[in-house]
Amino acid sequence: MITGILFDKDGTLFDFQATWSTWTRALLNDLSEGDAARAAALGAAVGFDMEAGRFSPDSPIITHTPDEIATALLTLLPGKSMVALVSHMNAMSATVALTPAVALVPFLDGLRDRGLRLGVATNDAESAARAQLASAGIERRFDFIAGFDSGHGGKPAPGMLLAFAQAFDLVPEQVLMVGDSRHDLIAGRAAGMRPVGVLTGLASAADLAPLAEAVLPDIGHLPAWIDAQMVAEI
């Protein structure tokens, strides 16, 4: 029985490469004040190729919190404070142009019609996440939204996930944690939830499969997968 689904945001609800490559390029150009060589160096510090517009598999932008990303950048930004940089990053991310992984409104409405509790657990800041979800017209479709700064910690620790379960008296074993990264799936396992991977981020099926109960092309395949689980339980 599945009673709730907790989604990662970037790479899960939204296609990661399509959404965040443009944002990252804009951020690094801004921080480098138009100096191409400096922008390239900043990109290297966070695993982003400015010329190709691609992320390396271990880029902290994929899975880490804004504080951790800022720490990598600050080594090349003398005089810039952590607080100022994180604030700047959050402000830019709140207005990023999002590319949904699927048509999100009907997808989420279909899950809600099944009586499922829905949540978002992201390593982004909560305020930026809420702004992005609102711009996509889906914020109110979630019962729970938490970021790394919501008081529960960041992934791969399970704090956000357990807070979701506790908020609605859900049994963790009956909750799906759906994400595109190993951080998401490790957090799901640590919380005692059922981890499901999707391939709309940068991780491959081979990366995710050892940690996931299933690896799906995208979240649009979830309803059919859930139906199959229900049949198997009969």
Domain annotation for the chain: domains and CATH numbers: 4-15+98-233 (3.40.50.1000), 19-93 (no CATH)
pTM across the whole model: 0.87
Residue among 1, 4, 16 at smallest CA distance from 183: 16
170 pLDDT above the threshold of 80: yes
234 pLDDT above the threshold of 70: no
pLDDT tens digit sequence for 24-81: 999 999 999 989 999 999 999 999 999 999 999 889 998 888 999 999 999 999 999 9
Angstrom distances, CA of residue 44 to CA of 96, 119, 202: 22, 33, 17
Residue 12, φ and ψ in degrees, nearest 5: -125, -65
From CA 115, how far away is CA 4, in angstroms rounded?
9
Which of 85-89, 99-103, 215-219 is predicted with the least confidence, judged by mean pLDDT? Answer: 85-89
Using an 8 Å Cβ cutoff, are 225 and 214 in contact?
yes
Count the residues in the chain: 234
From CA 88, how far away is CA 68, in angstroms rounded?
14
